[in-house]
Each structure stands twice: as C-alpha cells, then as structure tokens.
Structure 1
C-alpha cells in the first residue's frame, strides 16, 4: 500500500479528524508529557514536528519528528488501530530516517525506557532509544 509521509503544517478539517482518531487509539503512556491527544497534536503543529502517513487522502499514522542537535528524535509514533500491521509505522520510520540522513543527523527513537514495545522497536531498527 503506497503510504506517503509528510510533515503536517496546515491540516485540513479532515486531517484534524484523522489525527484525533490516530491518537485516540494511543495508550496513555504514549501521550506523555502531553495532557491528552489534542495537546500532543497542537504541540506538534506548533513546532512543525508532526509527521504523518497518508493513504488515499487520509492520515493513518503519525508521530513527532524533532529536528534537533546533535540528533533527531522520533517519538509518539502511533497508527490507527484498524490500520496496524500494514506498514504505515514502518513508512513513517523509514522516511524519518531518510530525512535525518539527508540533514546529516542520526535518528533516535524516544519513548519511556522501561516500555517493552519501545525497547523491541529500537532493537529491531538498530536505533538508539532516548527516554521521554
């Protein structure tokens, strides 16, 4: 399935609905330090770190790609529950790696260090894991 990854800067009303649905499926630990999904989305839009995967004009997954020094960090990666296991998260991760590489930066994953899913993803992708 061709998933196109983009930085979301000026979301349409449908994009906002899709983002709310994406993060509504997120476990509570994934939203921290934000109070809720709406706060996470607004923070990502405000600092231009919101990156999302689009298929057929709908956003299916999103995360925050913080372009910092000395490396970039991908955090809060979430895919809609009904779309999981179809490569959306993988495409967002691949595009984040590509963008970081083009900028001459290393990409790190950021998640709670004691969370097993985050540790497994970091191990599978061979990416460093930073604590949130």
Structure 2
C-alpha cells in the first residue's frame, strides 16, 4: 500500500473529515494537552506541524512534527482503527526520520512516559522518548 506522507497546510473538507475520524479513534491520553480532537487538529494546522499519511486521496494517519533548531519531535501519532497494522504509522515515522535527517536534525518521539506501547515504539525505531509537553 503506497502511503504518501505530506505536511498539511491547506486541508480540503475531505481531509478535515478524515482527520476527525483519525483522532476520533485516539485514546484520551494521546490528545493531551488539547481538550479534544478538534482542538488538536486546529492547533496543529495553525502552527504548521500536522503531517499525514495519504492513500488513494484519503488520510489514514496523522501526527504532529515540530521542527526545532536543536531537534525535531514527533508526537500524537494516530492511525484510523480500521487501517491499523498495515504500515501507515511506520510510513509516517520513516518519513519523519528521513525529513529530520535531511535537515541535519535528530528526531525524538514525544509521548507520556507511562505509555508502554510508546516506549516500545521508540525502542524499535531507535528514537529518544521525551515527555510530551
């Protein structure tokens, strides 16, 4: 499944519906510090940090990628429940790592430290896990 990862700056109305579906499947801890999925999406669009994986003109997964001068941080990675276990999240992570390396930056995974699956993901991807702010 060829998933194309892109930074979303001007999402279409379909993109906004897809993003709502993606983050509707997210556990509450993944949305923090935002009140809900809509607040997370709007904040990410406002600061230009929203990246998403697209297949056949539909968004299947998304994350926030904050680009700093010292390092880049990926957070809030979420894939639609019906699309999980098909490599969409891995494709988003791989592309974020490629983009960071191309910019000469390290990529960190930002998430709550108590989330065991996030710890495992960071270890598998050889990423530093940092607290989500």
1:122 alignment counterpart:
122
Q: Secondary structure at the match of 1:34?
A: coil
Deviation, structure 1 residue 70:
1.0
Q: Secondary structure at the match of 2:94?
A: helix
* CA deviation vs aligned residue, 1:54-80 (integer Å, no higher than 9, x gap): 000000000000001310000000000
* CA deviation vs aligned residue, 1:33-64 (integer Å, no higher than 9, x gap): 00000000001100100000000000000000
* CA deviation vs aligned residue, 1:87-123 (integer Å, no higher than 9, x gap): 0000000000010001100000000011101101011
2:46 alignment counterpart:
46
2:101 alignment counterpart:
101
Runs of at least 4 residues off by over 6 Å: none
Task: Give the RMSD, CA atoms, in angstroms.
Answer: 0.5
For 1:110 and 1:74, the matched residues in 2 are separated by: 6
For 1:44 and 1:19, the matched residues in 2 are separated by: 11
For 1:70 and 1:112, the matched residues in 2 are separated by: 21
1:1-132 alignment to 2 at 5 Å? 1-132=1-132
For 1:122 and 1:74, the matched residues in 2 are separated by: 11
Flag structure 2 segments of 5+ consecutive residues without an equivalent: none
For 1:44 and 1:55, the matched residues in 2 are separated by: 21
Compute the TM-score of the two structures, normalised by the length of structure 2: 0.98
| Count of aligned pairs | 132
For 1:53 and 1:83, the matched residues in 2 are separated by: 11
Compute the TM-score of the two structures, normalised by the length of structure 1: 0.99
For 1:76 and 1:68, the matched residues in 2 are separated by: 17
